[in-house]
Amino acid sequence: MASLDEAQTSKRPKLDESVRVQLKSVEGAELGPALEVPLASGPAELGSIVSKLKSDTNSTPYAFYAGEVSVPGTLQEFQEQYSFSTEQTLTLTYEPLAVFRVRRVSRCAETLPGHSDAVLHVQFSPDGKKVASGGGDATVRLWDALANIPQKTYSGHKHHVLCLSWSPDARMVASGDRAGEVRVWRSDGECRVLKRHSKWITALAWLPCHLADASQSTCELLASASKDCTCKIWNVRTAQMVTSLSGHSDGVECLAWSGDGALYSGSRDRTVKVWRSADGKWRDGKLANTLQGHGHRVNALALASAFVCRTGPFEAQKPFKGTTFNDVVSTSKQRYDAFVNANGGHATCERLVSGSDDATLLFWTSLKAGAAKTKPKARLTGHQQPVNSILFSPDARKFASASFDKKIKLWHGRTGAFLATLAGHVGAVYALAWAPDSRLVVSASKDSTLKVWSAADDGVPGSEAKNVTTKTRKFAAALGTLPGHLDEVFCVDASPCGAAVASGSKDRTIKMWHP
């Protein structure tokens, strides 16, 4: 009988065992000829080949996919799991990953008291230097994200502050309340009050910086959604309404403004409407499409370009040194163009996911097609209760969904294919945040905790998170649990330019988490 060492040795690929591999980019362009690659090769070795063929001197890490299936380990392990023939050419799609790595948060660096009621929304500024918070005490507070100290308190709202949104140039923060009022706060303390809604504000979205007029002095166009069934576009410089977008038959729950200029609104009437403007100034804003398919109200929308549109000219590893708004617009356009190129071009880069009370997600592509041709590319099932939060990773290669069923699910960002279920919370999951390197996800829950999860493709399987595989599902354990809040955690956000995480709770505090 062979010894255990001999049995283990026999399973290892021999040096002369190889497979013919054809590498191709996301756009489908082949990278060089097909090559004979040892079965012992993993992402690191394959990435080295890609770097040499591309003359890439930045040591960019890559993830590899065979169709929709990730290749996280060696080709030998992949062959044993999926039984592909080594006599045929294996086509692998390579996708660049962030060169930098964000360390996972593991400790509470500071507890920030000040709110006298539940904290309902927190958001980092695009440059990562400030955090804005709003809640049941009808105030908006600004915090120094680097020193963890309060900066300003803005008063004026008459009811709960339900949503916040920073302008992509980091100069203003907009807030919407339960009385239907929108306020825009400048860094110098000036406030613009926007009153035309008759019911509470549910969502806010700024026009992406790269679409703005470079001759302006700052971002000007802001969209608001309300339970009064309308969306409104505002010019925050003049404090005037540009247009009102009506067509929904029930309250609008969510908004998303894409990098190609379209504004998406999700409603309790079970539809997502697509609004477009011919001149970009939105005086002629019209309904372009109505996306149907959900059986219950639409709670959440996520766009693949959300991160690059949110952060404008700011990058994690490249400080923005511009001084004029023209610099802001030009740098933002360069970043968006780079995002488009990395995601297969204009035809495929803008993707939308909608989540509903019907416990499903709809994955939409080809969003510029005619209304009669617009159908979801996929219906994503698996959640057992309403889906209330969806968020694409910064590189748009994955997206995560959170549900009242206490689970988070990871999905492939270009096909919608299921990747993993993240289980561990014992209460409904309310909110999600991605690290800027797209390798970590943070979730906030009714159970008063946050959890940190690995979503990395280039790590050694099992080194960061224990994976349990069944016939149809893969479950991943959390890397860590962040306790400390005394009540439900309603909101969480990760710094776009660092490793810090901010969370807001029903216990009236904000906690800042660091590695």
The dihedral sign for the CA sequence 101, 127, 433, 291: negative
Mean pLDDT for 251-274 is 96
Identical fold, 4-96 and 161-172+196-490 = no
pLDDT of residue 78: 85
pLDDT of residue 150: 94
Tell me: pLDDT of 467 over 90. no
Q: Mean pLDDT highest for which of 27-36, 253-262, 337-346?
A: 253-262
Tell me: pLDDT of 26 over 60. yes
pLDDT of residue 374: 75
Cα–Cα nearest to 172, from 123, 210, 213: 123
pLDDT of residue 473: 63
Mean pLDDT for 67-89 is 83
Mean pLDDT for 303-308 is 96
Tell me: pLDDT of 372 over 50. no
**Of residues 13 and 423, more confidently modeled:** 423
pLDDT of residue 272: 97
Tell me: pLDDT of 35 over 70. yes
Enter the pTM of the model: 0.92
CATH of 4-96, one of 3.40.50.300, 3.30.559.30, 3.40.47.10, 3.10.20.90: 3.10.20.90
Mean pLDDT of the chain: 90
Domain spanning 161-172+196-490: which superfamily? Answer: YVTN repeat-like/Quinoprotein amine dehydrogenase (2.130.10.10)
Mean pLDDT for 48-77 is 85
pLDDT of residue 394: 96
The Cα 235–Cα 217 span in angstroms is: 13
pLDDT tens digits, 309-318? 999 999 988 8
Cα–Cα nearest to 432, from 418, 455, 405, 450: 450
Cα–Cα nearest to 150, from 159, 162, 140, 141: 141
Which of the 8 DSSP states describes residue 211? Answer: G
pLDDT of residue 508: 97
pLDDT of residue 296: 97
Residue 430: both structure tokens together: 């309310």
- Percent of the chain clearing pLDDT 70 (strictly above): 92
pLDDT tens digits, 191-223? 999 999 999 999 999 999 999 999 999 999 999
Tell me: pLDDT of 350 over 80. yes
Mean pLDDT for 151-176 is 96
Query: With bands split at pLDDT 50, 70 and 90, how would you rate the model's confidence at 464?
Result: low
Tell me: pLDDT of 461 over 90. no
Cα–Cα nearest to 380, from 457, 265, 294: 294
pLDDT tens digits, 380-402? 999 999 999 999 999 999 999 99
pLDDT of residue 292: 94
For the chain, the structural domain boundaries read: 4-96, 161-172+196-490
